[in-house]
Structure 1
Amino acid sequence: MNSAVKTYKGYEIHPLVYPRRPAGAQATRNPGAGYDASVRICRVGANPAADGRVFRLQYLFPFDGMGKARIACMAHAERLIDGQVSGQSVTDL
């Protein structure tokens, strides 16, 4: 999934999209439940697993498609990097 990685102002953005599992749900896949998303951000050239940080996207409703979730990840990451998300920052990465 490296093709989904984007660089922005010296940071790598890794979208993380996964099937939604509502509280108390069975451990089976239900594509109709939609998707949740997070984004991992690290400096360009850093090890994302060791030197990055994951930020979960907080939406009331699940995304109805993986593509929409990825687009939201990228937009959220850019706002984070630009310092436009209250209470979240990447300045110490």
Structure 2
Amino acid sequence: MTTTRHYRGFDISLLVYPHCTTQPGYGHNYEEGFDASIRISDPDAVTDSPRSRLFRVPGKRPFESAGDARRASVAYAEMLIDGDGSERTIWEAA
């Protein structure tokens, strides 16, 4: 599932997906938790634009629920946009 938010002039796409791949012929396995990624871009930037970057939300284990994954995604995106106190921009972040 994908949700788009706006923060400080950037578009943030929240990408939340089941931790385990769904096998053909079987239902989703939500019991194994969720993983998340975020795409940060300038408004109206195309997906492969240099002003659009994809980041995987770090974690030691899968998120227990899709809601937990979404909340962590928003917090991580805001942290990246706000920066770490250095002069680096979101486009230079690792």
Category of TM-score, reference length = shorter chain: 0.7 to 0.9
> Offset at 1:45?
2.0
TM-score by length of 2: 0.76
1:76 matched residue in structure 2: 76
Q: Deviations over 1:31-56 (max 9, x none)?
A: 10000001000011212x22211100
Contact 2:38 2:55 in 1 (8 A): yes
1:35 aligns with 2:34: yes
Contact 1:18 1:36 in 2 (8 A): yes
Q: How many residues align?
A: 85
Gap change, CA 1:67 and 1:27, over 3 Å in 2? closer
TM-score by length of 1: 0.77
Gap change, CA 1:77 and 1:60, over 3 Å in 2? same
The gaps in structure 2 that reach 5 residues or longer are none
CA RMSD of aligned residues (A): 2.5
What stretches of structure 1 move > 6 A for 4+ residues in a row? Answer: none
The gaps in structure 1 that reach 5 residues or longer are none
Answer with 1 or 2: which has the greater Rg. Answer: 2
